[in-house]
Structure 1
């Protein structure tokens, strides 16, 4: 399976608590819910397209807790996102959870790089990561993410957890597609394309 990562970020690269005020208040973050005002039909259509490609999900513990508290209670078979999240296998990278109540969930408590590498070798289309910024940083560092869907919202917050950290692995990406929603969200899809090349402009 290819590994795809979908993330909401602000213009200044913050990914913390896009969905609601109480989602993640660590370090005194007070801007939770910043993505909510920008939902529209085009945004929903893109997310449905992404979930249509999923054969399994890989989640960090915090994202798992958020999803597991919501989606099992909204298991509408007519909702393509709910149906896939509830029906498909879910793998959770964790060192603290001892069991998972959400049907179809398996805990990954060993070496996450080895665990994810093994998952990618299984047959299927996409192993998808949604949110889970801390996990994604580890996956980026080990070249495990094949496709990046970056949804940039027209918001600047100044504080909050940043997706790309100073120790990120230098990586080239190829732009595979881009679109903008009516509310100003820029959706860019990238494919990993090796290491950066360097030169001098004008030479």
Structure 2
């Protein structure tokens, strides 16, 4: 059975929307697209290469799939481990609106996403990776289907935008298993799901 990991870029106030560029996702009038760009140093790049060395498949939301599909097929340098994995490994796209996915090999999951992702984890070994796909991630977190969180937290506060852990998120405990900081100030935190929170009193 595969594990499902989520790699998510976040601001200090928990925003995941449009880290890569101003036009990436302006939904809801979001005006801060591209906020991660100033922090992309060599240590950050090495970490991302480590992440992309591990997957056996990818699971993406529609918006993230479309962003990736518009870029990575045109950047197929065999020496780039990110491009190689994204362009060759199976990709599963959770969407009720897409009817075709031309970035092969890709399969659209158009049914009950909880059931389909559960089945996907049963079919694969190794690590299925999610990148971005915050709306899908929130749904899967609600059903305890994400095993590992790689939260890349950037030293910036935006005040608006879509947040990974919004009001009403399911109470969940996590165990910190790795933490690093890049010279530019990005904290690279890995958490394993650890069930429900426990409570006490001081």
Q: TM-score range by the shorter chain?
A: over 0.9
After superposing on structure 2, the runs of 4+ consecutive aligned residues of structure 1 that deviate more than 3 Å are: none
Deviation at 1:176, TM superposition (A): 0.4
Tell me how far 1:99 sits from its aligned partner.
0.4
| Structural mapping, 1:11-22, within 5 Å | 11-22=12-23
**Separation in structure 2 between the aligned mates of residue 167 and residue 49 of structure 1, nearest angstrom:** 33
Aligned counterpart, 1:189: 190
- Tell me the equivalent position of 1:100: 101
Cα distance in structure 2, aligned partners of 1:123 and 1:13: 31
| Alpha-carbon offset, residue 8 of structure 1 | 0.3
Moved more, 159-168 or 111-120: 159-168
Gaps of 5+ in 2: none
The 5-angstrom pairing of residues 94-133 of structure 1 reads 94-133=95-134
Match of 2:174 in 1: 173
Give the superposition deviation at 1:123. Answer: 3.3
Kindly state the Cα deviation for residue 124 of structure 1 after the two structures are TM-superposed: 1.8
- Residue of structure 1 equivalent to 2:146: 145
**Structure 1 residues without counterparts, runs of 5 or longer:** none
Cα displacement (A) at 1:167: 1.9
Give, in whole Å, the separation in 2 of the partners of 1:53 and 1:81: 11
Q: What is the Cα deviation at residue 165 of structure 1?
A: 1.4
1:40-74, CA deviations, whole angstroms, 9 ceiling, x for partnerless residues?
11111111111111000000000000000000000
Secondary structure of the residue aligned to 1:199 is coil
Shift of 1:27: 1.1
Distance of 2:129 and 2:58 partners within structure 1: 5
Determine the C-alpha separation between the residues in 2 that align with 1:123 and 1:96.
Answer: 25
Structure 2 Cα separation of the partners of residues 63 and 123 of structure 1: 22
Task: Give 1:80 shift.
Answer: 0.3
> C-alpha deviations, 1:58-95, integer Å up to 9, x for none?
00000000000000000111100000000000000000
- Cα distance in 1 for partners of 2:195, 2:29 equals 37
How far is the alpha carbon of 1:166 from its aligned partner?
Answer: 1.5
How many angstroms apart in 1 are the aligned matches of 2:49 and 2:123? 23
Supply the distance in 2 between the matched residues of 1:42 and 1:140 (Cα, whole angstroms).
28
TM-score with structure 2 length normalisation?
0.98
TM-align CA RMSD: 0.6
Q: Who is 1:64 aligned against?
A: 65
> Secondary structure in 2 aligned to 1:121?
helix
Tell me the residue number matched to 1:81.
82
Q: TM (normalized to structure 1)?
A: 0.98
Q: Secondary structure at the match of 2:175?
A: strand
